[in-house]
Amino acid sequence: MEEQTTANQQLENEMELVERAKTNDQAFEILYNFYFPKIYRYLFKRIGHAQATEDLTSITFMKVFCNLKKYKHQGYTFGAWVYKIATNNLIDYYRQSGRRQEVDIEQVSEIESNGPSPSESMQNIEEQKFVKFILEKLPKRYKEVLYLKFFAEMSNQEIAGTLKISTNNAGVLLYRALKNFQKIYQKYEK
């Protein structure tokens, strides 16, 4: 826990840490430890396959490490740059895989006696499928902004950096995406 607090405190001066990371492996490790779980979650929500997610996350951080010396702050956070690399890797993955859906056997969880009942588990699965169904009905730009906001847990400023738009535009895009999601949800609601 103390290590996480230190990482958060050091990330308050993220730009300074990024500059140090260009020549200091320990500084890079702090950035890596902070962003790795976020990038992994973001990619896993989009792919749904543990092995492919691990591969893409590794590729993302390899590219971050290799291109770190070229990174320059241009009004967007370092995190937005990392997410942009992850998003580009995801696009390449979908191009190569032909958008086929794979299900990882590791995703299937065993039912525990103190966990949700089988009917509650089925209801949760159905709700998740319904949300994914609706997300697939959205235009690509709306889908992307919703994934960044709710699965990658990015701020509007980070979304703006990732999508290379203004923060205000990111807020407007998010609002429109949510309205569109709501409209489709109501149309298909059981």
* Cα three-residue angle 102-107-110, rounded to 5 degrees: 145
- How many structural domains comprise the chain? 2
Q: Quote the domain boundaries for residue 141.
A: 120-190
Residue 28: predicted pLDDT:
87
Residue 122: predicted pLDDT:
66
Between 126 and 41, where is the model more confident?
41
Shared domain for 12 and 82, answered yes or no, is yes
- CATH for 62: 1.10.1740.10
Average pLDDT (34-43) is 91
Shared domain for 45 and 83, answered yes or no, is yes
Asked if residue 104 belongs to a domain, the reply is no
Residue 110: predicted pLDDT:
45
Alpha carbons 62 and 178: distance in angstroms, whole number:
34
Asked if residue 113 belongs to a domain, the reply is no
Residue 83: predicted pLDDT:
92
Average pLDDT (153-167) is 85
How many CA atoms within 13 Å lie on the side-chain side of 32? 18
Token pair belonging to 111? 């039912």
Between 26 and 153, where is the model more confident?
26
Shared domain for 88 and 155, answered yes or no, is no
Shared domain for 71 and 150, answered yes or no, is no
Asked if residue 91 belongs to a domain, the reply is yes
Asked if residue 135 belongs to a domain, the reply is yes
Res. 4: pLDDT tops 50: no
Shared domain for 76 and 157, answered yes or no, is no
Shared domain for 2 and 57, answered yes or no, is yes
Asked if residue 107 belongs to a domain, the reply is no
Alpha carbons 1 and 133: distance in angstroms, whole number:
38
Residue 127: predicted pLDDT:
72
Range with the lowest mean pLDDT among 7-11, 89-93, 97-101, 174-178? 7-11
The dihedral region occupied by 98, where left means phi > 0, alpha psi between -120 and 50, and beta the remainder, is left
Asked if residue 171 belongs to a domain, the reply is yes
Asked if residue 152 belongs to a domain, the reply is yes
Residue with tokens 């190569």: 96
| Average model confidence (pLDDT) across the chain | 79
Shared domain for 87 and 11, answered yes or no, is yes
187 contacts: CB under 8 Å, gap ≥ 6: none
Tens-place pLDDT, residues 61-72: 889 988 888 888
Tens-place pLDDT, residues 57-109: 888 988 998 888 888 888 778 988 999 999 988 888 888 876 455 554 554 44
Examine the fold and report which residue of 47, 69, 99 is the final residue of a domain before the chain moves on: 99
Asked if residue 61 belongs to a domain, the reply is yes
Residue 3: predicted pLDDT:
46
- CATH for 156: 1.10.10.10
Token pair belonging to 5? 């607090």
104 contacts: CB under 8 Å, gap ≥ 6: 48, 49, 50, 51
Cα→Cα distances 14→5, 11, 27, 66, 167, Å: 14, 4, 10, 18, 19
